[in-house]
Each structure stands twice: as C-alpha cells, then as structure tokens.
Structure 1
Amino acid sequence: MTNLNEEKCLVAYFSRASNNYVSGKIVNLPVGNTKVVAGMVREITGADVFQIDTVKSYPKDYSATTNVAKKELNDNARPELSSHVENMDSYNVIFLGYPNWWGTMPMPVFTFLEEYDLSGKTIVPFCTHEGSGFGRSEKDIAKLCPEATLLKGLSIHGSRVGAAKKDVTDWLNKLGIIS
C-alpha cells in the first residue's frame, strides 16, 4: 500500500453553522461541527482545505433546514455547488467530512462526489452526528466512487467535537496517514 503520509491530501467538507441540534436541544453554532473537525484534520496532516458549499444557502433555522434536507434526499437532488476544486487531479487522498443528515451525507456531498472522477484516489470519510454515526453514508460513498479506495472513517458525536483532537490524531495514526 502507498505510504499515505507522503501523498498530496485535500480535506473537502460540508458543514453548517447557525441553529443545530446538539445534545438534545437546538443551539446556535458560530462554526459548524464538521468544520471544527476538518480544521483538526488540516492542522494534523497539513492538507489543503475545500469547503463544499451550495449556491442556495440552507435556512438558519434548524427545523427549516431539516425539511429542506429531507426533501432533497427524497428527490435525490443534487444541489448546485458555489465553488469547485480546480486541481482535483493533483490530490491522491481526499478526507471527506460531513454531518449525518437523514442517515447519510447531505445531498451537496453527493453533488461533490459526482462532479469529479475519483478513480484511483483514496477517500477517508469523517462524519459528525448526534447519535446515528455514519448511517449508510459509507455505503453511499462506495456506490458513488466504485473505483476509489475507501478507508475506515471516523464518526464524532457533535457535542464532542471540541474535545476530539486526540480521537482524530489516533484515527489518522491508525490509518498510517501520520506517524
């Protein structure tokens, strides 16, 4: 296997600030949980960072966002992204971060994965959640990117992201991405 700590890496993540469900209640997050973890991965690996963002913003209200997210999932929608990775070919390892929405990735992450040919690349997922872990998102990634190598991901409970740096470090170490 390739020595992953010598590969050019990208942290691509989708995250949502504003009203979020954390530990059983709605709280206002100035920075989305997944963005916090993406920052840890970037800091530890030195990878480049790309935020997956949509042309049409999600509502600030949590319930309104969950309704939009459920409709997108039911419609198998592919929301338009506001920016794109110009030099995707130069990356060998993609750390893919997202919150668990309705048992999988938010639909903009589906858009992102379908936008590039990730054949031969290594995808390393990480997910924030409020008790549902990865749901079926890893299966969905494998379906969308059948020619990519999918490594064991890390799921982090949203209320724990602030204290997750050791978990992130241990996970990257175990995968051989850092030593």
Structure 2
Amino acid sequence: MKSQCFLRLILVVGVAAFAVTFTACGNRNEQAMANSAVPSANSITESKDSIDSKPLVIYFSRGINTASDQNIDAVTGPSLKPDGVGFRSDEQVLAEWIATETKGDLFPIQTVRKYPTGYEEILEVGKREKTEDTRPALSSHLENLNDYRTIYFVYPNWWGDLPMPVYSFFDTYDFSEKKIIAVVISGGGGFAGTVSYIQHLEPNADVVDGIKIYKRDMDKVREQIVSWLRSER
C-alpha cells in the first residue's frame, strides 16, 4: 500500500512539473511573438527620417508662365533669362538652388493663360487679377503631394500679395499636417502679408517664414541661401 501511494505521489509531482514547464515555455514563445510584431523605436525613426529627408520645392515664376519672346531684353524683362526654349526667372533659379542643396523635387505652378513679357504689362495684369480676385486656371497638376512632409514654397511678391495663380494652387490642394517654408522674392516689400495669407489658405499646415530675397541681390545670394538651408537642418 505504501509503495502504491509513493508511486501516485511521484506521478502527481511529475505532472505538475510538466505543466509548469509547458506554461513557462508557452509564455516565452508568446512574448517572443509579441516582440517581433512591434517595430523597434529605431525602425520607426528610420521610416520617419526616410520620409522627411526629401522635401518638395514648389515655385511660381514669371519665366515659366511668360509668352514666348526670345527678343526680350534687360529693360522689358529684367528678371527673365532666355534659355533657348522659354525663360528662367529669379524664382525658378532660387527654387533650383534649394532643390539642389536639399536633394528635393521641383514642381512649377503653371497657368493655362500666359503672362506678357513686359515688366510694366505684367504688373498691370497682376494688379487687375488681384482687384478682381481672379483665380487663373492652372495647367500643371501635382499628383504625389502625400509623398512629402516639408514644402519649400518660392514665389514673388506681387502688389504686396501672393500672385493670384498661387491662390488657385492652394484652393486645389490640401496641405494639412505639412510644413510650408515660405521663400519670397521681391523688389523691396519682402514678405509683406504673404505668410499669413498662406496660413489662412492652409489653416492645418505649419506655415513659417523662410527667407526673403531682393531681386537686386540675386547675383550674390547663393552662398546665403546655402548657409540658411544648412542652418535649418
């Protein structure tokens, strides 16, 4: 009888020990699976960095929106530079510098109707568009805005305001949760109220003053632009 009781005791103890071991192994396996399913902090950071590393440089310029006239001169179009096909304006040159330094992508805002080449003429057209609150039709379309979080926005100051095609552009796209860095080129007015106007058009974006450039300084500002961009990183 004692021997039978002893054998039963051994059996009970053995079963209990197996149950404890099996449960512990199961818990370890479940924990390992849970850990493998959750991305590490490093992988999350790397993913975010890969998205943030490439900005989009959007620009509006006279040059790309000017009617073709290769006979334009430094008097009628002082900020336009014939390139054999069309014109490159100061805004485009500046946008290209920013894209080169940041390794960003370029996107030009283009209008269906072209602007005149003469400086005085384009001033009058811009003034009329502003007075009438015109929204010029656009011929360029941005397909992949969701690929970017940081936007450099390069534009001229027209009559203390954004050019009206820029209003057309912001009416078309939603920049919520993106950072818009304003870069203005002007004859002397600087940003004026343009940054606040962009913020009004895109209330859910983070709109900040970037840098203001005066047209008279374009031939000597590239180093300043590069230095500013590097200080922003």
TM-score bucket of the superposed structures, by smaller chain: 0.7 to 0.9
1:144 aligns to 2:213 (yes or no): no
Identity among equivalent pairs (%): 35
Count of aligned pairs between the two proteins: 173
Structure with the higher fraction of residues in strand conformation: 1
TM-score, length basis structure 1: 0.88
1:26-105 alignment runs, 5 A limit: 27=78, 29-30=80-81, 31-105=88-162
- Listed as ranges, the gaps of 5+ residues in structure 1 are none
Structure with the higher fraction of residues in helix conformation: 2
In the alignment, what sits opposite 2:61? 15
Instruction: Quote the Cα distance in structure 2 between the aligned partners of 1:43 and 1:7.
Output: 13
RMSD, matched Cα:
2.4
By how many angstroms is 1:175 displaced?
Answer: 2.4
Instruction: Quote the Cα distance in structure 1 between the aligned partners of 2:169 and 2:142.
Output: 9
1:28/1:49 Cα in 2 relative to 1: closer, same or farther (>3 Å)?
A: closer
1:148/1:68 Cα in 2 relative to 1: closer, same or farther (>3 Å)?
A: same
In the alignment, what sits opposite 2:4? none
- Confirm or deny: 8 A CA contact 2:55 2:151 kept in the other structure: yes
Secondary structure of 2:78 counterpart: strand
- Listed as ranges, the gaps of 5+ residues in structure 2 are 1-47, 67-71, 82-87
Higher RCO by CA contacts (8 Å cutoff, separation 6 or greater): 1
Higher mean C-alpha deviation, range 166-175 or range 93-102: 166-175
TM-score, length basis structure 2: 0.68
2:165 pairs, out of 108, 122, 125, with 108
1:12/1:60 Cα in 2 relative to 1: closer, same or farther (>3 Å)?
A: same
By how many angstroms is 1:5 displaced?
Answer: 9.1
In the alignment, what sits opposite 1:156? 213
Instruction: Quote the Cα distance in structure 1 between the aligned partners of 2:200 and 2:168.
Output: 13
In the alignment, what sits opposite 2:12? none
- Confirm or deny: 8 A CA contact 2:52 2:148 kept in the other structure: no
By how many angstroms is 1:173 displaced?
Answer: 2.5
